[in-house]
A and B are shown apart, each in its own frame.
Chain A
């Protein structure tokens, strides 16, 4: 097929993971016969059986804690949290156990588990179904966090997450599940992305945790992940009409951050704006801005801008268009990087 959706790409990635390694398992709420509420696991139980793909009781700590124990018996579980907001009941498992068990066991116990989480907003959900949990997860030691932005990216990054020997939280932009995009040829997209985003840094960043340049530009770098990448691409198109050449950098991995990729891009453009759905306060943008400030203090033409949410719970669906980073807010933040004057 020349095009596919992210839902199809994720489903294909899971099928290939299950086919390639009989120690992989999928567990979660309604992932079996129902194929997941977003159909990401559709058909997998039928194809691989109820021992490989199975439903659990409605208990997120139970799902993640069971995945930990499965790792201890040599399995490679892929656990699903049905929605972002349902991750919080499992947070004790994430913070007290998943984050620490390898160190606590002196390296004896590896946790090659993947925690898939349909994430972020913009689909008119009821409350608790539109959360951005990346900061909570990325702040925890020993846990890697990744969030794809396109179908082909989703395929490659999910394969990488499942293959990783460490626990990976995989944040799926649920507003992008059904958008149909060109299927990029080749299954080594992660490596391809690394090559696209700066060959000079390849040796340093050969570990695969690399960002990618979605669109090249010389005036300012927009930094985003997941669903916000598309918002940045739209804003970049508007900016181009005004003659501003915007580079869009898709972080992909939120932990580890691709520091060298970030620095390489912003060293060229000298201006940067981070865009996320999460509240600005201690959102991942704060970390990115601090890193760029440390590395590029003398190079930056303006403070790193941040576009995110105010300090309030995710709003009712009627307000979410206003709440989410709009092209206008992104363009305003870009404009401020040009207006900035040293005191």
Chain B
């Protein structure tokens, strides 16, 4: 099965579009950090430095047929999969949990801070796709930190046993808050664990957007064709803090950060494009102009995002609200008015 290979995508136009998504991600990411400093967002988990791993992997998916399961740090992947910036800012403004979008329509699960467990949801979704005879795959994002969770092991084992179309996309980004990868991943490689399940495992330079795109495309193709699951370990680096509440200077060296800053995935793609496009600067200018317009719209739209009412949040708890629960909720709301 795994002998079926999709052609590598190296066309310059493809790289340009991936570059645009990475720049868009970095710009919104930086804007979100600024908005948090201004008090417009309650907190934000930056993905600075991981744009190639996220954009490259998401670009290999077709959200019309496939389904992605993100963690909380998947801004680049989710933008690439078509989720709007404002939908992704809503959780960080305290207005939404998983993002202000329809997960069923978008084929993207809500963002999730309890990492590891969603790998099993990808397995279940993939099982459903296989039962329905669809040529589709589920891609689950996780990091070197989440690779320690037992549920990730269970998910890989289930995917192997049931021969399911799943792509396990690990962004090994150096740090799980303050715990470095070498104190997280026994044996040193998440991809190497794939062999234990009889699955193909692949390590890829996570800061090379085309390499990530190609590796993921191969895995997606194999999954859709009935070839089963793949574990991809994309080596990258979380250049920023874990979140806007975190201070990495407490636990890691500036020299390490500088070394990775010199390997910035966006800079790398920009240099590649300069080498292969005569009018590269014109394209860059156009991309930056479009980003400026988008950020203007984000700032304008942020204040218009509506907070849900307590009544609306109560309604979400059940598809079929029991009468006793409805009565108790009404009494609770009434106490708030009377009080």
* A residues adjacent to B (C-beta < 8 A): 25, 51, 56-57, 59, 61-62, 64-75, 77, 92-93, 96-97, 100-110, 112, 141-142, 144, 164-166, 204-207, 209, 256-260
Cβ–Cβ < 8 Å partners of B323 in chain A: 204-207, 209, 256
Q: Shortest beta-carbon distance, B141 to chain A, in Å?
A: 15
A311 CB to nearest chain B CB (Å)? 29
- Which of B94-102, B184-192, B253-261 lies at the interface? B94-102
Tell which of B118, B124, B150, B315 touches A73, judged by Cβ atoms closer than 8 Å: B124
CB distance from B167 to the nearest CB of A (A): 14
B315-339 vs A, CB cutoff 8 Å, 1 = contact: the mask equals: 1111110111101100000000000
Give the Cβ gap from A46 to chain B, nearest Cβ, in Å.
19
Minimum CB–CB distance for B138 against chain A, Å: 7
B333 CB, min distance to chain A CBs, angstroms: 16
Given contacts A62-B120, A70-B125, A72-B67, contact A142 B324 (CB under 8 A): no
Given A69-B126, A97-B121, A166-B318; A57-B103 close (CB under 8 Å)? no
Q: Given known contacts A61-B151, A74-B128, A97-B114, is B123 in contact with A69 (CB within 8 Å)?
A: yes
Q: Does B296 contact A (CB under 8 A)?
A: no
Nearest-CB residue, chain B, relative to A55: B161
| Selected contact of A71 from candidates B114, B119, B124, B155, CB within 8 Å | B124
Q: Which residues of B lie under 8 Å from residue A64 when comparing CB positions?
A: 120
Contact assessment for B320 and A107 in the assembled complex, using a CB-CB cutoff below 8 Å: no
| Residues of A with C-beta under 8 A to B250 | none
Say yes or no: is B110 at the interface (Cβ < 8 Å to chain A). yes
Q: Is B158 an interface residue (CB 8 A)?
A: yes
Given A51-B131, A106-B316, A209-B323, residue A93 in contact with residue B161 (CB < 8 A):
no
Q: Are A258 and B120 in contact (CB under 8 A)?
A: no
Q: Does B86 reach chain A (CB closer than 8 Å)? A: no
In angstroms, Cα B67 to Cα A57, docked, is 24
Indicate if the CB atoms of A65 and B317 lie closer than 8 Å: no
- CB of B127 within 8 A of CB of A69, answer yes
What's the nearest-Cβ distance from chain B to residue A209, in Å? 5
Q: Closest Cβ of chain B: how far from A217's Cβ, in Å?
A: 24
**Chain B residues, Cβ within 8 Å of A61:** 117, 120, 150-151, 154
Cross-interface CB contact of A164 among B119, B138, B313, B320, cutoff 8 Å: B320
Q: How far is the CA of A258 from the CA of B327 in the complex (A)?
A: 12
Q: Are A69 and B138 in contact (CB under 8 A)?
A: yes
Does B105 sit within 8 A of A, measured CB to CB?
yes
**B325 touching A108 by the CB < 8 A rule?**
no
Contacts of A101 in B (CB 8 A): 110
Bound-complex Cα distance A100 to B96 (A): 12
- Asked whether B278 is an interface residue with its Cβ less than 8 Å from the other chain, the reply is no
Closest 6 A-B residue pairs measured CB to CB? A69-B124, A65-B120, A73-B128, A256-B322, A165-B319, A62-B154
**Interface SS, B side:** helix
**B282 in the interface, Cβ–Cβ < 8 Å?**
no
B83, CB-defined interface residue at 8 Å: no
Specify which of A57, A73, A105, A207 is in contact with B158 (CB 8 Å cutoff): A57
- Let me know if B181 is at the binding interface, CB within 8 A: no
Alpha-carbon gap, A57 to B112, bound state (A): 25
Q: How far is the CA of A257 from the CA of B322 in the complex (A)?
A: 9
In the complex, B122 has a CB within 8 A of chain A: yes
8 contacts between A and B (CB under 8 A): A61-B150, A69-B121, A105-B98, A105-B110, A106-B96, A108-B105, A166-B319, A207-B323
Partner of B320, one of A51, A100, A166, A259: A166
The verdict on A209 contacting B324 (CB below 8 Å), with A61-B154, A70-B128 known, is yes
Contact partner of B124 (CB less than 8 A), chosen from A68, A104, A205, A260, is A68
B117–A66 CB distance below 8 A: no
**B317, A141: Cβ atoms closer than 8 Å:** yes
Name the B residues within 8 Å of A107 (CB-CB): 315-316, 319
User: Which of B97, B102, B128, B158 makes the CB contact (< 8 A) with A59?
Assistant: B158
Within 8 A of A (CB), among B77-110: 96-98, 100, 102-105, 109-110
Q: For A25, give the chain B residue with the smallest CB separation.
A: B131
Report the nearest B residue to A203, measured CB to CB: B323
- Chain B's closest residue to A61 (CB) is B151
Report yes or no: A103 in contact with B128, Cβ–Cβ below 8 A. Answer: no
* B220 CB within 8 Å of chain A: no
Which residues from A are CB-within-8-Å of B67?
Answer: 72
> Are A256 and B324 touching (Cβ within 8 A)?
yes
Inter-subunit contact B154/A57 (CB<8 Å):
yes
- Report B126-170 CB contacts with A as 1/0, cut-off 8 Å: 111101100000100000000000110011011001000000000
Using Cβ atoms and an 8 Å threshold, which residues of chain A touch B325?
256
**Contacts of A66 on B, CB cut-off 8 Å?**
120, 123-124, 127, 158
Instruction: Tell me the complex Cα distance, A75–B151, Å.
Output: 21
* Contact for A102 among B112, B138, B151, B318, CB less than 8 A: B318
Residues of A within 8 A of B102 (CB): 106, 108
Q: Which of A57, A65, A107, A165 has the most chain B CB within a 10 Å cutoff?
A: A65
Task: Kindly provide the distance from the CB of B323 to the nearest chain A CB, expressed in whole angstroms.
Answer: 5
Contacts of B126 in A (CB 8 A): 69
CA distance A71 to B151 in the complex (A): 18
Complex CA distance for A106 and B103, rounded to whole angstroms: 9
| In contact, B105 and A65 (Cβ under 8 angstroms) | no
Known A72-B125, A106-B102, A109-B104; contact A65-B322, beta-carbon cutoff 8 A: no
Docked pose: A105 CA to B111 CA in angstroms: 9
Q: Tell me which residues across on chain A come within 8 A of B157, comparing CB atoms.
A: 57, 59, 62
Q: State which of A100, A109, A142, A258 has its C-beta within 8 Å of the C-beta of B318.
A: A142
B124 near A165 with CB under 8 A, answer: no
Query: Are A62 and B158 interface neighbours, CB within 8 A?
Result: yes
Which chain B residues lie closer than 8 Å to A62 at the CB level? 120, 123, 151, 154-155, 157-158
* Pairwise interchain contact B319-A69, C-beta atoms closer than 8 A: no
- A295 to nearest B CB, angstroms? 12
Chain B contacts of A258 at CB under 8 A?
Answer: 324
